[in-house]
Structure 1
Protein backbone atom coordinates (compact mmCIF):
# COMPACT_ATOMS: atom_id res chain seq x y z
CA UNK A 1 0.00 0.00 0.00
CA UNK A 2 1.32 3.45 -0.95
CA UNK A 3 0.84 6.55 1.22
CA UNK A 4 1.53 10.16 0.18
CA UNK A 5 1.03 13.72 1.28
CA UNK A 6 -0.24 15.81 -1.62
CA UNK A 7 0.36 19.52 -1.00
CA UNK A 8 -2.43 21.57 -2.60
CA UNK A 9 -0.78 24.76 -1.38
CA UNK A 10 2.30 25.64 0.66
CA UNK A 11 2.16 29.40 1.09
CA UNK A 12 2.02 31.77 4.02
CA UNK A 13 -1.14 33.89 4.21
CA UNK A 14 0.28 36.58 1.90
CA UNK A 15 1.90 34.15 -0.57
CA UNK A 16 -1.17 33.70 -2.78
CA UNK A 17 0.91 32.46 -5.71
CA UNK A 18 1.87 29.39 -3.64
CA UNK A 19 -1.71 28.55 -2.65
CA UNK A 20 -3.26 28.42 0.80
CA UNK A 21 -1.44 25.82 2.89
CA UNK A 22 -3.44 22.59 2.71
CA UNK A 23 -2.50 18.95 2.28
CA UNK A 24 -4.24 15.70 1.35
CA UNK A 25 -3.33 12.33 2.80
CA UNK A 26 -3.56 9.78 -0.02
CA UNK A 27 -3.74 6.00 0.27
CA UNK A 28 -3.02 4.16 -2.98
CA UNK A 29 -3.73 7.37 -4.87
CA UNK A 30 -7.14 7.87 -3.26
CA UNK A 31 -7.72 10.94 -1.06
CA UNK A 32 -8.34 10.01 2.56
CA UNK A 33 -8.09 13.26 4.56
CA UNK A 34 -7.86 16.93 3.63
CA UNK A 35 -6.15 19.14 6.18
CA UNK A 36 -7.47 22.72 6.14
CA UNK A 37 -9.69 24.49 3.62
CA UNK A 38 -8.42 27.92 2.64
CA UNK A 39 -9.92 30.27 0.03
CA UNK A 40 -8.52 28.36 -2.98
CA UNK A 41 -8.36 24.87 -1.50
CA UNK A 42 -11.66 23.48 -2.77
CA UNK A 43 -10.85 24.42 -6.38
CA UNK A 44 -7.46 22.74 -6.13
CA UNK A 45 -8.97 19.67 -4.47
CA UNK A 46 -11.70 19.27 -7.08
CA UNK A 47 -9.20 19.74 -9.92
CA UNK A 48 -7.09 16.93 -8.47
CA UNK A 49 -9.83 14.47 -7.48
CA UNK A 50 -13.02 15.44 -9.30
CA UNK A 51 -15.21 15.46 -6.17
CA UNK A 52 -15.48 17.17 -2.77
CA UNK A 53 -13.41 15.89 0.15
CA UNK A 54 -14.82 12.96 2.14
CA UNK A 55 -12.99 13.98 5.33
CA UNK A 56 -11.47 17.28 6.51
CA UNK A 57 -9.40 18.21 9.57
CA UNK A 58 -9.16 21.88 10.56
CA UNK A 59 -5.94 22.97 12.30
CA UNK A 60 -7.09 26.48 13.30
CA UNK A 61 -9.48 29.19 12.26
CA UNK A 62 -7.38 31.84 10.51
CA UNK A 63 -9.06 32.61 7.20
CA UNK A 64 -6.22 31.33 5.02
CA UNK A 65 -7.08 27.93 6.55
CA UNK A 66 -10.89 28.09 6.74
CA UNK A 67 -11.79 30.70 4.13
CA UNK A 68 -13.10 28.00 1.78
CA UNK A 69 -15.58 26.53 4.24
CA UNK A 70 -18.56 28.54 2.99
CA UNK A 71 -17.95 27.38 -0.58
CA UNK A 72 -17.63 23.81 0.66
CA UNK A 73 -20.97 24.21 2.44
CA UNK A 74 -22.69 25.20 -0.82
CA UNK A 75 -20.96 22.41 -2.76
CA UNK A 76 -22.22 19.81 -0.27
CA UNK A 77 -25.67 21.21 0.50
CA UNK A 78 -26.84 21.45 -3.10
CA UNK A 79 -25.80 17.89 -3.96
CA UNK A 80 -28.01 15.40 -2.13
CA UNK A 81 -25.54 12.56 -2.57
CA UNK A 82 -22.94 14.61 -0.65
CA UNK A 83 -25.11 16.48 1.84
CA UNK A 84 -24.14 15.44 5.37
CA UNK A 85 -21.52 12.93 4.23
CA UNK A 86 -18.23 14.81 4.54
CA UNK A 87 -16.68 14.20 7.95
CA UNK A 88 -15.35 17.40 9.50
CA UNK A 89 -12.92 16.79 12.35
CA UNK A 90 -12.46 19.81 14.60
CA UNK A 91 -10.82 20.02 18.02
CA UNK A 92 -13.59 20.76 20.54
CA UNK A 93 -11.69 23.82 21.74
CA UNK A 94 -11.96 25.39 18.28
CA UNK A 95 -15.70 24.99 17.84
CA UNK A 96 -16.71 28.38 19.20
CA UNK A 97 -14.06 30.09 17.05
CA UNK A 98 -15.06 28.17 13.93
CA UNK A 99 -18.73 28.86 14.55
CA UNK A 100 -18.02 32.58 14.82
CA UNK A 101 -15.75 32.65 11.76
CA UNK A 102 -17.77 30.68 9.21
CA UNK A 103 -21.19 29.59 10.49
CA UNK A 104 -22.78 32.36 12.54
CA UNK A 105 -24.15 34.52 9.74
CA UNK A 106 -27.96 34.96 9.71
CA UNK A 107 -29.64 32.65 7.20
CA UNK A 108 -26.80 30.79 5.50
CA UNK A 109 -29.27 30.46 2.62
CA UNK A 110 -31.40 33.42 1.59
CA UNK A 111 -34.48 31.21 1.87
CA UNK A 112 -33.64 30.32 5.48
CA UNK A 113 -34.44 26.98 7.08
CA UNK A 114 -30.91 25.57 6.91
CA UNK A 115 -28.25 25.22 9.61
CA UNK A 116 -24.67 25.54 8.37
CA UNK A 117 -23.45 22.33 9.98
CA UNK A 118 -26.20 20.20 8.42
CA UNK A 119 -24.14 20.08 5.24
CA UNK A 120 -21.36 18.25 7.12
CA UNK A 121 -20.92 15.29 9.40
CA UNK A 122 -19.34 17.23 12.25
CA UNK A 123 -16.98 15.19 14.49
CA UNK A 124 -15.54 17.15 17.45
CA UNK A 125 -12.38 15.61 18.90
CA UNK A 126 -9.71 16.25 21.51
CA UNK A 127 -6.89 13.64 21.69
CA UNK A 128 -7.55 12.39 18.18
CA UNK A 129 -10.02 10.64 15.91
CA UNK A 130 -10.67 7.43 14.00
CA UNK A 131 -10.85 7.41 10.20
CA UNK A 132 -11.04 4.28 8.06
CA UNK A 133 -9.66 2.10 10.84
CA UNK A 134 -6.69 4.36 11.60
CA UNK A 135 -6.19 6.47 14.71
CA UNK A 136 -4.96 10.03 14.10
CA UNK A 137 -3.34 11.90 16.99
CA UNK A 138 -4.32 15.55 17.45
CA UNK A 139 -1.78 17.72 19.26
CA UNK A 140 -1.61 21.34 20.42
CA UNK A 141 0.71 23.71 18.59
CA UNK A 142 2.01 27.21 19.37
CA UNK A 143 0.31 29.76 17.14
CA UNK A 144 -1.01 33.06 18.52
CA UNK A 145 -3.09 32.24 21.62
CA UNK A 146 -2.74 28.95 23.49
CA UNK A 147 -5.52 26.49 22.72
CA UNK A 148 -6.32 27.87 19.26
CA UNK A 149 -4.25 25.66 16.92
CA UNK A 150 -3.67 21.92 16.50
CA UNK A 151 -1.68 19.56 14.33
CA UNK A 152 -2.43 16.01 13.24
CA UNK A 153 -0.26 12.88 13.09
CA UNK A 154 -0.55 9.28 11.95
CA UNK A 155 1.87 7.13 13.93
CA UNK A 156 4.69 5.71 11.84
CA UNK A 157 3.75 7.81 8.81
CA UNK A 158 3.59 11.60 9.22
CA UNK A 159 3.02 14.62 11.44
CA UNK A 160 1.58 17.86 10.06
CA UNK A 161 2.06 20.84 12.34
CA UNK A 162 -0.25 23.43 10.85
CA UNK A 163 0.88 26.94 11.80
CA UNK A 164 3.21 26.87 14.77
CA UNK A 165 6.30 28.01 16.59
CA UNK A 166 8.78 25.18 17.33
CA UNK A 167 7.32 22.23 19.28
CA UNK A 168 10.21 19.74 19.61
CA UNK A 169 8.83 18.15 22.78
CA UNK A 170 5.45 17.52 21.13
CA UNK A 171 6.94 16.02 17.98
CA UNK A 172 9.16 13.81 20.12
CA UNK A 173 5.91 12.26 21.36
CA UNK A 174 3.73 12.07 18.23
CA UNK A 175 6.52 11.55 15.65
CA UNK A 176 9.21 9.65 17.52
CA UNK A 177 10.05 7.18 14.75
CA UNK A 178 10.57 7.62 11.01
CA UNK A 179 7.54 9.82 10.37
CA UNK A 180 7.78 12.59 7.79
CA UNK A 181 7.36 15.91 9.61
CA UNK A 182 5.61 18.61 7.57
CA UNK A 183 6.56 21.76 9.48
CA UNK A 184 5.58 25.43 9.25
CA UNK A 185 8.72 27.36 8.34
CA UNK A 186 9.47 30.69 6.73
CA UNK A 187 12.82 32.22 5.99
CA UNK A 188 12.35 34.49 9.01
CA UNK A 189 10.25 33.59 12.06
CA UNK A 190 7.90 35.77 14.09
CA UNK A 191 5.89 35.38 17.32
CA UNK A 192 3.39 33.07 15.57
CA UNK A 193 5.44 31.19 12.97
CA UNK A 194 8.68 29.25 12.82
CA UNK A 195 11.73 30.58 10.97
CA UNK A 196 14.69 28.58 9.73
CA UNK A 197 16.85 29.88 12.59
CA UNK A 198 14.25 28.50 15.01
CA UNK A 199 14.40 25.10 13.27
CA UNK A 200 18.19 25.00 13.61
CA UNK A 201 18.12 26.11 17.23
CA UNK A 202 15.21 24.04 18.58
CA UNK A 203 15.39 20.70 16.73
CA UNK A 204 18.05 18.02 16.70
CA UNK A 205 19.60 16.72 13.48
CA UNK A 206 17.45 13.59 13.37
CA UNK A 207 14.23 15.61 13.50
CA UNK A 208 15.48 18.13 10.93
CA UNK A 209 16.34 15.37 8.45
CA UNK A 210 12.73 14.17 8.48
CA UNK A 211 11.24 17.63 7.92
CA UNK A 212 9.54 18.94 4.80
CA UNK A 213 9.07 22.67 5.21
CA UNK A 214 6.00 24.56 4.01
CA UNK A 215 4.12 27.81 4.74
CA UNK A 216 7.00 29.92 3.40
CA UNK A 217 6.59 33.38 1.96
CA UNK A 218 7.57 33.13 -1.71
CA UNK A 219 9.30 30.99 -4.33
CA UNK A 220 12.48 32.88 -3.51
CA UNK A 221 12.13 32.05 0.19
CA UNK A 222 11.62 28.39 -0.69
CA UNK A 223 14.76 28.43 -2.81
CA UNK A 224 16.68 30.00 0.07
CA UNK A 225 15.53 27.23 2.41
CA UNK A 226 16.71 24.64 -0.11
CA UNK A 227 20.05 26.43 -0.42
CA UNK A 228 20.48 26.01 3.33
CA UNK A 229 20.13 22.26 2.92
CA UNK A 230 16.44 21.73 3.76
CA UNK A 231 13.74 19.85 1.90
CA UNK A 232 10.61 21.86 1.13
CA UNK A 233 7.13 20.92 0.06
CA UNK A 234 6.02 22.42 -3.26
CA UNK A 235 2.56 23.35 -4.49
CA UNK A 236 1.05 20.33 -6.21
CA UNK A 237 3.89 18.07 -5.09
CA UNK A 238 3.60 14.69 -3.42
CA UNK A 239 5.81 13.31 -0.67
CA UNK A 240 5.99 9.55 -0.13
CA UNK A 241 5.27 8.40 3.41
CA UNK A 242 6.24 5.36 5.44
CA UNK A 243 3.54 2.78 6.08
CA UNK A 244 1.53 3.68 9.23
CA UNK A 245 2.40 1.78 12.37
CA UNK A 246 -0.08 -0.72 13.88
CA UNK A 247 -2.72 1.00 15.96
CA UNK A 248 -1.50 1.51 19.54
CA UNK A 249 -3.36 -0.26 22.35
CA UNK A 250 -4.09 3.13 23.96
CA UNK A 251 -5.58 4.66 20.78
CA UNK A 252 -9.07 6.05 21.09
Structure 2
Protein backbone atom coordinates (compact mmCIF):
# COMPACT_ATOMS: atom_id res chain seq x y z
CA UNK A 1 0.00 0.00 0.00
CA UNK A 2 1.43 3.40 -0.97
CA UNK A 3 0.66 6.81 0.51
CA UNK A 4 1.30 10.30 -0.86
CA UNK A 5 0.39 13.95 -0.32
CA UNK A 6 -0.79 15.88 -3.37
CA UNK A 7 -0.59 19.68 -3.19
CA UNK A 8 -3.48 21.38 -4.99
CA UNK A 9 -2.29 24.88 -4.07
CA UNK A 10 0.41 26.43 -1.91
CA UNK A 11 -0.27 30.18 -1.87
CA UNK A 12 -1.48 32.57 0.75
CA UNK A 13 -4.82 34.39 0.43
CA UNK A 14 -3.45 36.91 -2.09
CA UNK A 15 -1.29 34.52 -4.13
CA UNK A 16 -4.01 33.36 -6.52
CA UNK A 17 -1.50 32.21 -9.12
CA UNK A 18 -0.12 29.65 -6.63
CA UNK A 19 -3.57 28.26 -5.81
CA UNK A 20 -5.35 28.22 -2.47
CA UNK A 21 -3.54 26.11 0.11
CA UNK A 22 -5.16 22.68 -0.11
CA UNK A 23 -3.94 19.10 -0.28
CA UNK A 24 -5.14 15.52 -0.56
CA UNK A 25 -3.74 12.49 1.20
CA UNK A 26 -3.69 9.71 -1.38
CA UNK A 27 -3.70 5.98 -0.81
CA UNK A 28 -2.65 3.79 -3.73
CA UNK A 29 -2.94 6.76 -6.09
CA UNK A 30 -6.53 7.60 -5.18
CA UNK A 31 -7.84 10.43 -2.97
CA UNK A 32 -8.28 9.33 0.63
CA UNK A 33 -8.80 12.54 2.64
CA UNK A 34 -8.71 16.14 1.41
CA UNK A 35 -7.58 19.06 3.55
CA UNK A 36 -9.66 22.22 3.07
CA UNK A 37 -11.73 23.37 0.09
CA UNK A 38 -10.49 26.60 -1.43
CA UNK A 39 -11.83 27.74 -4.78
CA UNK A 40 -8.63 27.31 -6.79
CA UNK A 41 -7.76 24.15 -4.90
CA UNK A 42 -11.12 22.60 -5.71
CA UNK A 43 -10.58 23.33 -9.40
CA UNK A 44 -7.24 21.55 -9.26
CA UNK A 45 -8.74 18.61 -7.37
CA UNK A 46 -11.43 18.15 -10.02
CA UNK A 47 -8.84 18.34 -12.79
CA UNK A 48 -6.68 15.72 -11.06
CA UNK A 49 -9.35 13.19 -10.15
CA UNK A 50 -12.29 13.92 -12.45
CA UNK A 51 -14.71 14.35 -9.56
CA UNK A 52 -15.18 16.39 -6.38
CA UNK A 53 -13.90 15.39 -2.93
CA UNK A 54 -15.76 12.72 -0.96
CA UNK A 55 -14.09 13.30 2.42
CA UNK A 56 -12.61 16.54 3.75
CA UNK A 57 -10.97 17.86 6.91
CA UNK A 58 -11.36 21.61 7.45
CA UNK A 59 -8.56 23.50 9.23
CA UNK A 60 -10.31 26.87 9.58
CA UNK A 61 -13.00 29.01 8.01
CA UNK A 62 -11.11 31.70 6.08
CA UNK A 63 -12.44 31.90 2.55
CA UNK A 64 -9.21 30.90 0.84
CA UNK A 65 -9.71 27.57 2.63
CA UNK A 66 -13.49 27.12 2.36
CA UNK A 67 -14.42 29.27 -0.66
CA UNK A 68 -15.01 26.22 -2.86
CA UNK A 69 -17.90 24.96 -0.74
CA UNK A 70 -20.64 26.67 -2.75
CA UNK A 71 -19.55 24.81 -5.87
CA UNK A 72 -19.10 21.64 -3.86
CA UNK A 73 -22.66 21.98 -2.52
CA UNK A 74 -24.11 22.25 -6.02
CA UNK A 75 -21.95 19.38 -7.27
CA UNK A 76 -23.05 17.20 -4.35
CA UNK A 77 -26.68 18.11 -3.70
CA UNK A 78 -27.82 17.50 -7.28
CA UNK A 79 -26.08 14.13 -7.50
CA UNK A 80 -28.28 11.63 -5.69
CA UNK A 81 -25.37 9.18 -5.41
CA UNK A 82 -23.36 11.79 -3.46
CA UNK A 83 -25.99 13.79 -1.57
CA UNK A 84 -25.49 13.34 2.16
CA UNK A 85 -22.49 11.08 1.59
CA UNK A 86 -19.64 13.61 1.35
CA UNK A 87 -17.99 13.65 4.78
CA UNK A 88 -16.84 16.95 6.28
CA UNK A 89 -14.73 16.53 9.42
CA UNK A 90 -14.60 19.81 11.33
CA UNK A 91 -13.11 20.45 14.78
CA UNK A 92 -16.08 21.10 17.08
CA UNK A 93 -15.15 24.71 17.99
CA UNK A 94 -14.98 25.47 14.27
CA UNK A 95 -18.49 24.26 13.44
CA UNK A 96 -20.37 27.52 14.31
CA UNK A 97 -17.83 29.59 12.37
CA UNK A 98 -17.97 27.23 9.42
CA UNK A 99 -21.76 27.38 9.37
CA UNK A 100 -21.79 31.18 9.56
CA UNK A 101 -19.24 31.39 6.78
CA UNK A 102 -20.68 28.94 4.27
CA UNK A 103 -23.96 27.45 5.47
CA UNK A 104 -26.13 30.18 6.97
CA UNK A 105 -27.30 31.98 3.84
CA UNK A 106 -31.11 31.69 3.71
CA UNK A 107 -32.61 29.55 0.95
CA UNK A 108 -29.48 27.89 -0.34
CA UNK A 109 -31.63 27.01 -3.35
CA UNK A 110 -33.88 29.72 -4.78
CA UNK A 111 -36.69 27.16 -5.02
CA UNK A 112 -36.41 26.40 -1.30
CA UNK A 113 -36.67 22.97 0.24
CA UNK A 114 -32.98 22.44 0.90
CA UNK A 115 -30.56 23.10 3.73
CA UNK A 116 -26.87 23.61 3.04
CA UNK A 117 -25.82 20.65 5.16
CA UNK A 118 -28.25 18.30 3.39
CA UNK A 119 -25.50 17.82 0.81
CA UNK A 120 -22.93 16.69 3.37
CA UNK A 121 -22.35 14.48 6.38
CA UNK A 122 -20.92 16.94 8.88
CA UNK A 123 -18.84 15.19 11.57
CA UNK A 124 -17.69 17.45 14.44
CA UNK A 125 -14.42 16.12 15.88
CA UNK A 126 -12.36 16.58 19.01
CA UNK A 127 -8.68 15.75 19.43
CA UNK A 128 -8.97 12.92 16.94
CA UNK A 129 -11.31 11.04 14.63
CA UNK A 130 -11.58 7.84 12.62
CA UNK A 131 -11.62 7.90 8.85
CA UNK A 132 -11.83 4.74 6.79
CA UNK A 133 -10.72 2.69 9.78
CA UNK A 134 -7.64 4.80 10.58
CA UNK A 135 -7.26 7.23 13.47
CA UNK A 136 -6.11 10.80 12.77
CA UNK A 137 -5.20 13.41 15.38
CA UNK A 138 -6.07 17.09 15.45
CA UNK A 139 -4.42 19.92 17.34
CA UNK A 140 -4.86 23.65 17.82
CA UNK A 141 -2.85 26.02 15.65
CA UNK A 142 -2.06 29.70 16.32
CA UNK A 143 -3.92 31.71 13.70
CA UNK A 144 -5.76 34.95 14.49
CA UNK A 145 -7.78 33.74 17.49
CA UNK A 146 -7.79 30.74 19.87
CA UNK A 147 -9.87 27.71 18.88
CA UNK A 148 -10.40 28.88 15.30
CA UNK A 149 -7.65 27.00 13.44
CA UNK A 150 -6.44 23.41 13.64
CA UNK A 151 -3.82 21.07 12.25
CA UNK A 152 -3.99 17.41 11.27
CA UNK A 153 -1.72 14.44 11.94
CA UNK A 154 -1.60 11.03 10.30
CA UNK A 155 0.73 9.42 12.81
CA UNK A 156 4.02 8.20 11.39
CA UNK A 157 3.29 9.70 7.97
CA UNK A 158 2.45 13.41 7.78
CA UNK A 159 1.42 16.53 9.69
CA UNK A 160 -0.42 19.47 8.14
CA UNK A 161 -0.18 22.55 10.35
CA UNK A 162 -2.79 24.69 8.62
CA UNK A 163 -2.35 28.44 8.86
CA UNK A 164 -0.32 29.14 11.97
CA UNK A 165 2.40 30.94 13.81
CA UNK A 166 5.15 28.65 15.14
CA UNK A 167 3.78 25.92 17.42
CA UNK A 168 6.84 24.17 18.87
CA UNK A 169 4.93 22.71 21.81
CA UNK A 170 2.29 21.20 19.52
CA UNK A 171 4.79 19.72 17.10
CA UNK A 172 6.86 18.29 19.95
CA UNK A 173 3.74 16.28 20.78
CA UNK A 174 2.14 15.77 17.37
CA UNK A 175 5.16 15.37 15.08
CA UNK A 176 7.37 13.13 17.20
CA UNK A 177 7.37 10.06 14.94
CA UNK A 178 9.40 11.27 11.97
CA UNK A 179 6.44 12.64 10.01
CA UNK A 180 6.72 14.99 7.06
CA UNK A 181 5.56 18.37 8.42
CA UNK A 182 3.77 20.58 5.87
CA UNK A 183 4.10 23.99 7.53
CA UNK A 184 2.70 27.46 6.89
CA UNK A 185 5.72 29.63 6.06
CA UNK A 186 6.31 32.78 4.10
CA UNK A 187 9.50 34.70 3.50
CA UNK A 188 8.26 37.18 6.11
CA UNK A 189 5.98 36.48 9.06
CA UNK A 190 3.09 38.49 10.47
CA UNK A 191 0.81 38.17 13.53
CA UNK A 192 -1.14 35.32 11.90
CA UNK A 193 1.42 33.46 9.81
CA UNK A 194 4.94 32.10 10.21
CA UNK A 195 7.94 33.57 8.46
CA UNK A 196 11.12 31.62 7.90
CA UNK A 197 12.93 33.64 10.58
CA UNK A 198 10.21 32.59 13.04
CA UNK A 199 10.69 28.92 12.25
CA UNK A 200 14.46 29.16 12.47
CA UNK A 201 14.14 30.80 15.88
CA UNK A 202 11.51 28.41 17.29
CA UNK A 203 12.30 24.99 15.77
CA UNK A 204 15.35 22.72 16.08
CA UNK A 205 17.26 21.90 12.89
CA UNK A 206 16.05 18.28 12.95
CA UNK A 207 12.43 19.44 12.73
CA UNK A 208 13.18 22.01 10.03
CA UNK A 209 14.71 19.23 7.92
CA UNK A 210 11.32 17.48 7.93
CA UNK A 211 9.35 20.61 7.00
CA UNK A 212 7.69 21.15 3.64
CA UNK A 213 6.93 24.87 3.37
CA UNK A 214 3.69 26.15 1.84
CA UNK A 215 1.34 29.16 2.09
CA UNK A 216 3.87 31.68 0.83
CA UNK A 217 3.20 34.93 -1.04
CA UNK A 218 4.70 34.46 -4.51
CA UNK A 219 6.81 32.22 -6.70
CA UNK A 220 9.75 34.53 -6.00
CA UNK A 221 9.28 34.06 -2.25
CA UNK A 222 9.14 30.30 -2.74
CA UNK A 223 12.40 30.43 -4.68
CA UNK A 224 13.98 32.53 -1.93
CA UNK A 225 12.93 29.98 0.71
CA UNK A 226 14.38 27.18 -1.41
CA UNK A 227 17.61 29.13 -1.84
CA UNK A 228 17.97 29.13 1.94
CA UNK A 229 18.07 25.36 1.82
CA UNK A 230 14.46 24.50 2.66
CA UNK A 231 12.04 22.11 0.99
CA UNK A 232 9.31 24.18 -0.64
CA UNK A 233 6.02 22.77 -1.86
CA UNK A 234 4.78 23.61 -5.36
CA UNK A 235 1.24 23.25 -6.65
CA UNK A 236 0.92 19.87 -8.32
CA UNK A 237 3.65 18.19 -6.28
CA UNK A 238 2.94 14.63 -5.16
CA UNK A 239 5.12 13.79 -2.17
CA UNK A 240 5.55 10.14 -1.18
CA UNK A 241 4.69 9.44 2.46
CA UNK A 242 5.79 6.68 4.76
CA UNK A 243 3.26 4.06 5.82
CA UNK A 244 1.21 5.45 8.73
CA UNK A 245 1.68 3.97 12.18
CA UNK A 246 -1.68 5.38 13.25
CA UNK A 247 -4.11 3.14 15.10
CA UNK A 248 -6.32 1.03 12.87
CA UNK A 249 -9.76 -0.24 13.72
CA UNK A 250 -9.89 -3.93 14.51
CA UNK A 251 -12.77 -5.90 13.01
CA UNK A 252 -15.47 -6.90 15.45
CA UNK A 253 -15.19 -10.56 16.45
CA UNK A 254 -17.87 -12.88 15.25
Does residue 27 of structure 1 match 2:12? no
2:135–2:246 contact (8 Å) kept in structure 1: no
Mapped partners of 2:72, 2:148: distance in 1: 22
Does residue 239 of structure 1 match 2:239? yes
Residue 11 of structure 1: aligned partner: 11
2:136–2:246 contact (8 Å) kept in structure 1: no
Mapped partners of 1:137, 1:248: distance in 2: 13
CA RMSD of aligned residues (A): 1.1
2:133–2:248 contact (8 Å) kept in structure 1: no
For residues 174-209 of structure 1, give each alpha carbon's deviation from its aligned partner in whole angstroms, at most 9, with x where no partner exists.
110210000000000000000000010000011000
Equivalent positions of 1:182-221 (< 5 A) are: 182-221=182-221
For residues 146-179 of structure 1, give each alpha carbon's deviation from its aligned partner in whole angstroms, at most 9, with x where no partner exists.
1100000010000000000000110111110210
Q: TM-score, with normalisation over the residues of structure 1?
A: 0.97
Runs of 4+ in structure 1 off by over 4 angstroms are none
2:56–2:89 contact (8 Å) kept in structure 1: yes
Equivalent positions of 1:44-63 (< 5 A) are: 44-63=44-63
Q: TM-score, with normalisation over the residues of structure 2?
A: 0.96
Residue 150 of structure 1: aligned partner: 150
Residue 94 of structure 2: aligned partner: 94
Residue 180 of structure 2: aligned partner: 180
Mapped partners of 1:189, 1:103: distance in 2: 31
- Helix, strand or coil: the match of 2:231? coil
1:52, distance to aligned residue in structure 2 (A): 1.4
Equivalent positions of 1:24-173 (< 5 A) are: 24-173=24-173
1:45, distance to aligned residue in structure 2 (A): 0.8
1:186–1:216 contact (8 Å) kept in structure 2: yes
